[in-house]
Amino acid sequence: MSAALLVLTAVPVGVAWGAEPAPAVALGHDVAEIVDRVQQRYADVEVLQASFVQVTKSPYYGEEEQRGTVVMQRPSKMRWLFDDSGKQFVTDGDTMWIYTPAAKQVLRFRDFSAQSSTANSLLQSLHKVGDLFEVELLASEIEGGHTLSMVPKDAIAKTQVKSLVLSLDSALLMQELVITDPSDSVTDMTFSGVKLGGEVPEDTFRFEIPEGVEVIDTNPAG
């Protein structure tokens, strides 16, 4: 399992991403039209911030709910903070750190850019949804949003993610992302307080290793 997919299953500045509501598309319109509007909507965005509730259901491990906040900056920076456990998933685009306070342990992935998952690609690449996925329209409302079913086009991505269902509101902001992996574990993420655009401090994506914490390199340099 890739490091990025682990972020979404172990538990997913510049131009404002959500400044103006996007026109709703009536049911019956071609899915290509909706995909095109989504891609135009996110073409110039740089940063996404939101609160999330994540529920993971696994045939093997049962159900787990987690809450927290996420900040993402294109092309590949992100910070996921989990409220209850204090877990952190932080990457500056090159190295990723997965910190579990209860275990006093940090996993360090030195080449995170080579491990980017389909799920993470979706959250940061809504401007090219049509390139990454085969998209079908599940639901659409004139004054509401749209629900899209997506299957990765890339063969390697299919080994990580079986399918995704993305729900967008009338402004084409993320409401929910449901990820099904090849083992039929399901991660359901609902988003609130979605903020698109603005600026975030550069140290948002810098991880400081706490004193007394064990660091495990998953792919040591050299």
Q: What is the pLDDT along the chain (222 residues), one digit of tens a residue?
A: 333 344 444 333 222 333 344 444 444 458 998 999 899 988 888 899 999 999 999 888 888 999 999 999 988 899 999 998 999 999 998 899 999 999 999 999 987 655 555 556 677 788 888 988 999 999 887 666 899 999 988 887 788 888 999 999 988 999 999 999 898 899 999 999 999 888 899 899 999 999 999 999 987 555
The first and second tokens of residue 166, run together, are 């993305």
Query: 42 lies in a domain?
Result: yes
* Domain harbouring 104, CATH code: 2.50.20.10
pTM here is 0.79
What are the two backbone dihedrals, phi and then psi, of residue 145, each rounded to the nearest 5 degrees? -110, -155
Query: 19 lies in a domain?
Result: yes
Task: Look at residue 7 and give its three-state secondary structure.
Answer: helix
Query: 71 lies in a domain?
Result: yes
Domain total of the chain: 1
Query: 44 lies in a domain?
Result: yes
Taking the C-alpha atoms of residue 200 and residue 162, their distance in angstroms, rounded to an integer, is 33
Give the residue numbers spanning the domain of 104: 3-217
Query: 207 lies in a domain?
Result: yes
Query: 222 lies in a domain?
Result: no
The first and second tokens of residue 23, run together, are 């026109």
Taking the C-alpha atoms of residue 143 and residue 149, their distance in angstroms, rounded to an integer, is 20
Query: 97 lies in a domain?
Result: yes
Q: How many CB atoms lie within 10 A of CB 51?
A: 15
CA dist 194 to 54, 81, 184, 186, 205, Å? Answer: 15, 15, 28, 22, 19
- What pLDDT does residue 119 have? 54
The first and second tokens of residue 10, run together, are 């172990």
Query: 117 lies in a domain?
Result: yes
